[in-house]
Amino acid sequence: MIFISHASPEDDEFTRWLALQLAKEGYPVWCDLTKLLGGEDFWKDIEQAIRERTCKFLYVLSMSSNKKPGPLQELQVAQNVARDLELKDFVIPLLIDDLPPREINIQLSRIIAIPYNMGWAKGLELLLDKLEKEKIQKSPRFNPEAVTSWWRNQFSAEQGIIDEPDEYLSNWFPIQQLPVDIFFHELKRSRIGKIEVSDDLPFAAIQHGLNLVSFGNAGSFEGRLGQYMSIGDSTSVSTDTFLGEGSAPYRIDKKQARDFISYLLKVSWDRFIQQRALSMYEMANGATCYFSKKDMVHNDNLFFAGVDDNKTHRAIVGYKTIRESKRYWHFAIQSKSLVYPAIAYIIKPHVLFSDDGKKIWESKERLHKARRSQCKHWWNPDWRDRILAVMKYLAGEESTISIPVGSELTISIPTHPIVFKIPVSYKEPEEESIIEDEEDYEEYDDVFDDEEKGDDI
């Protein structure tokens, strides 16, 4: 069999994935997360299992397993077996994070590790190629069907269902009422030239041919259209009618109408959120999100009413000390406007990183790796509460968020999202003890299970 040694719980996610991938390829594989053949347990005599039943010993090499006594003891057993039986390449390290080569444990310092830190799929390809070249024997009992069966037994939804109704918060924040009308303003120019409006309009608008489409009336754009530009006649269409039918006179079909409304809502949101001092960041896919720089708010904490309506707080900026240097994390939100099946803003959370609490790293790959490390123990309440905290911040002292869409015209969004009611509930999984990497860690008065300021997570 192939034996996988790893640090638990830090490297559980990767180890489980690797074990199932090898099993799908037909290799008999064992780790403490999957066992062998649905239950055989070698932990009572681990040395015997490694010495008598193991053909390859895979060591998941990470910052955690590089220090933890348990995995290192297993590694020592495997090294002894390799030496006693004169086995070549018996131990295969799999590097999964940014552990510097100079810090790798002396037991592995002369063994070239297969790199998984640049992508799990690429690392798996290299490992499978090595196993194939060494003609490691496969077993018919290990196949895709066996993996599927194991997965269903472990994670079947039926095992966790409770026959009781329940409520779940979404990340859809409803727009309580769209403006009654949408306006089509005829654009005019006092001199010969292209009819084109300024990029610096005070409210969200779309130029559609020779018309400006907006929730704002003509007065909303007075003197702001650009040199020689003005508004002639204005007509209005019921917003509900526009969403449901489009506008035949302006050659706008139903789909285009929804796109127009969605665009106006998105631009209005972006303008508003920048006025609330949040900074913009452009992500790899071209979308934008907004984050708080260090010290934007007192202690980098936001207070809000939690799901139980009691006042609480969450950190939106913090830092982790890694090799005597601070790595700041910044909670960020991205919005997407929705017009069907509900009229709402979808709020999606992100986490960004900086060295100084202000300037976000340029490398998207570096951000991705840091995010996997920082957020691996953030559960639903951690993401949910930070979204609620930021939404309350955007509302200020008011109970709702008011976003300007025209002169003396706003749309309102509650600080709590749409709640979905379903006829069944589920059992919460038992919470495993969380063991962090052995690094100095500090956050700005963050709240995880109501810990006190300065406590480790």
- Spatial contact of 36 and 42, defined as CB atoms under 8 Å apart: yes
Report the percentage of the chain scoring pLDDT > 70. 89
- The amino acid that residue 127 corresponds to is L
- Residue 300: which of 313, 288, 317 has the closest Cα? 317
pLDDT confidence bin for 100, thresholds 50/70/90: confident
- DSSP at 112: P
The pair of three-digit structure tokens given for residue 97, joined into one six-digit string: 């994070």
- Residue 139: which of 53, 251, 229, 261 has the closest Cα? 53
Question: Taking 80 as the threshold, does the pLDDT of residue 426 lie above it?
Answer: no
Q: How far apart are CA 446 and CA 457, in angstroms?
A: 9
pTM for the structure as a whole: 0.62
| Amino acid 109: pLDDT | 81
Strands 325-338, 344-354: pairing is antiparallel
Strands (DSSP E) found in 247-300: 279-282, 288-291
The per-residue pLDDT for range 360-400, each reduced to its tens digit, is 999 988 998 899 888 888 888 899 999 999 999 999 999 99
The per-residue pLDDT for range 194-220, each reduced to its tens digit, is 888 887 899 999 999 999 999 999 999
Selected residue with higher pLDDT from 278 and 101:
278
Q: What is the largest CA-CA distance in the chain?
A: 93
- Domain positions in the chain are 2-155, 181-264, 270-442
The per-residue pLDDT for range 116-162, each reduced to its tens digit, is 987 898 899 999 999 999 999 998 888 888 888 877 777 665 556 77
E strand or H helix that includes residue 395: helix 380-395
The per-residue pLDDT for range 17-72, each reduced to its tens digit, is 999 999 999 999 888 887 654 445 445 567 778 888 899 999 999 999 998 998 99
Q: State whether residue 434 is helix, strand or coil.
A: coil
Spell out a b/e string for 289-324, using b for 16 or more CB atoms within 10 Å of the CB, else e.
Answer: bbbbbbebbeebbbebebeeeeebbbbbbbbbebee
Cis peptide, bond prior to residue 341, ω within 30 of zero: yes
- Spatial contact of 119 and 3, defined as CB atoms under 8 Å apart: no
Residues whose CB falls within 8 Å of the CB of residue 160, separated by 6 or more in sequence, listed in order: 426, 427, 429
| Amino acid 141: pLDDT | 87
Q: How far apart are CA 95 and CA 304, in angstroms?
A: 41
Question: Taking 60 as the threshold, does the pLDDT of residue 440 lie above it?
Answer: no
Fold (topology level) of 2-155: Rossmann fold (3.40.50)
Q: How far apart are CA 340 and CA 357, in angstroms?
A: 38
| Amino acid 296: pLDDT | 93
| Amino acid 152: pLDDT | 73
Q: Angle at Cα 12 formed by Cα 10 and Cα 15, nearest 5°?
A: 125
- Residue 182: which of 165, 202, 206 has the closest Cα? 206
Share the mean pLDDT of the chain.
Answer: 86
